[in-house]
Amino acid sequence: MKPSLRIFNLCLGLAASGAGETVHSVGNIFSPQATPAESVYHLSLLVVTVCAAIFFTVAGLLTFTIVRFRRKADDGREPAQVYGSNRIEIAWTVIPILIVLVLTMATARVVIAIQNKQAPKDALQVTVIGHQWWWEIRYPDLGLVTANELHVPVSTVGEPAVTFLKLQSADVAHSFWVPQLSGKTDLIPNRTNSMWIDPRQEGTFLGNCAEYCGMQHANMLLRVIVQSPADFHKWAVAQKLDASDDSHIAPARATFLSLSCVNCHTVSGTAAAGTFGPDLSHVMGRETLGSGVIPNTPENLRAWVKDPQVIKPGNLMPNMQLNTRELDAVAAYLSSLK
C-alpha cells in the first residue's frame, strides 16, 4: 500500500486490511484485492493526482485574487476595465484539451484491458442471477446451485485462478458490486453481462446490490468467499452431494415436504423443486440468511421461518403461519442441511 493511501485510511479511522483477517467488511476501493479493482485503482491514482493538481492551481489563484484584490478603501474610482486577452484565453483552452487527451487515452487502455479480457480455458464459469432481493449463483460446469455467497478459489502467482461471471436478472435491474474485487456491473433482465475477478487474498469480501431494485434494495447484500484451491474443491464436492437424508430427521423432513415451502425452494434429492427462492440443499453451509441480513444461527433460522417479514420487511417470502410443531420440524430439518 502506498504511504499516501495509508495516511488516507488512517484519516478515515480504518486499519489497513492485514493478513489473518478473514472478513474484509470495509469495501475500500483504494484497497484492491483483485486485478480489475487494482487496474481501476491505478487509473484512479492518475486521475485523482491530475485533478488535485488542477484544484490546487485554480483554488490557489482564486484565493490569491480574493486576498490581493479585495477593495480596501472606497476612493470612488473604478479599476482598469479589461475586456479579455486572446493569448491567455487560448492558453486556458489548449491546456485543458491536452489534459483531456491524456486522461482519455489512459482511461481507454483500462476500459479495454478490463472489459475485453478473454476468459482463459481453465477459468471458473459462474452465472449470477439477480432476484428481488437475493442472488442466485450457479456453477454450470460443476453442476452446483447456491445463493448469496459466491465461493471462488484464490488466485496466486503460481496458480492463477480467474472467475468469469455471467450476470443476468430474473426481474428488475440489479448491480453486482464487491468494491475490493471489481467495479460494478449491472444485472439487467433480457440481457447477459459479464465481468471477472481473480481475488488474491483468502477471506470473505462484502458487497451490495448497487442499483436500486425496490423495497429491500438495502438488504440485497453479497459475500464473496475466497478459498484456497483445496478448500474450494472440498466445498464444491460437498455442495454436489444430494441434501442430507439423515433418518433421525425423517419425520421433520416429511413435515417440510408436506408444506408449501417446496413451491419456491429446492432441496436436491427430494420432491422440493421450486425455483422462486434460494436453493436450500446446503443452506447450513452459508454464513448468513436473507441475503446477508442476519447471521445463519439456529435461532435466527427459526425466527426467519416463523416470520421473515419482521426481519426483512417486504421480502417476497410470506409469513407461512406455521404452528409450533411445524415450525420446530422445518427448523430442525433445515438445520440438518449441512
Which residues from 63-122 bind another protein, rule CB under 8 A? 65-66, 69-71, 78-85, 88-89, 92-93, 96-97, 100, 103-104, 106-108, 110-112, 114-116
Q: Where do we find the cell 446477508? A: 292
Given a contact cutoff of 8 angstroms between Cβ atoms, the answer to whether 169 and 162 are in contact is no
CB-wise, 58 or 273, nearer to another protein? 58
Q: Is residue 148 near another protein by the rule CB under 8 A?
A: no
- Which neighbouring-strand residues pair with 125? 164
Report the C-alpha gap between 318 and 309 in whole angstroms. Answer: 7
Report the C-alpha gap between 45 and 284 in whole angstroms. Answer: 42
Q: Is residue 132 near another protein by the rule CB under 8 A?
A: yes
How many residues lie near another protein (CB under 8 A)?
Answer: 91
CB-wise, 268 or 315, nearer to another protein? 315
The contact mask relative to another protein for 10-39 (x = CB under 8 A, - = no) is --xxx----------xxxxxx------x-x
CA 207 to chain centroid, in Å, comes to 3
- Give residues 299-338 in contact with another protein (rule: CB under 8 A): 313-314
Candidates 148, 152, 134, 126; CA nearest to 282 is 148
Q: Is residue 209 near another protein by the rule CB under 8 A?
A: yes
- Which neighbouring-strand residues pair with 253? none
Q: Is residue 239 near another protein by the rule CB under 8 A?
A: no
Report the C-alpha gap between 301 and 334 in whole angstroms. Answer: 8
Say which amino acid occupies 206: L
Q: Is residue 241 near another protein by the rule CB under 8 A?
A: no
269: left (phi over 0), alpha (psi -120 to 50) or beta: left
Q: List the 134-139 sheet strands across, edge first.
A: 144-147, 134-139, 124-131, 163-169, 193-197
The contact mask relative to another protein for 154-183 (x = CB under 8 A, - = no) is -------------x---xxx-x-x-xx-xx
Q: Is residue 217 near another protein by the rule CB under 8 A?
A: yes
Of the residues 1, 7, 21, 55, which one makes contact with another protein according to CB under 8 A: 55
Tell the smallest beta-carbon distance from residue 82 to another protein (Å).
6
Tell the smallest beta-carbon distance from residue 170 to another protein (Å).
10
Given a contact cutoff of 8 angstroms between Cβ atoms, the answer to whether 175 and 209 are in contact is yes
CB-wise, 51 or 238, nearer to another protein? 51
CB-wise, 212 or 276, nearer to another protein? 212
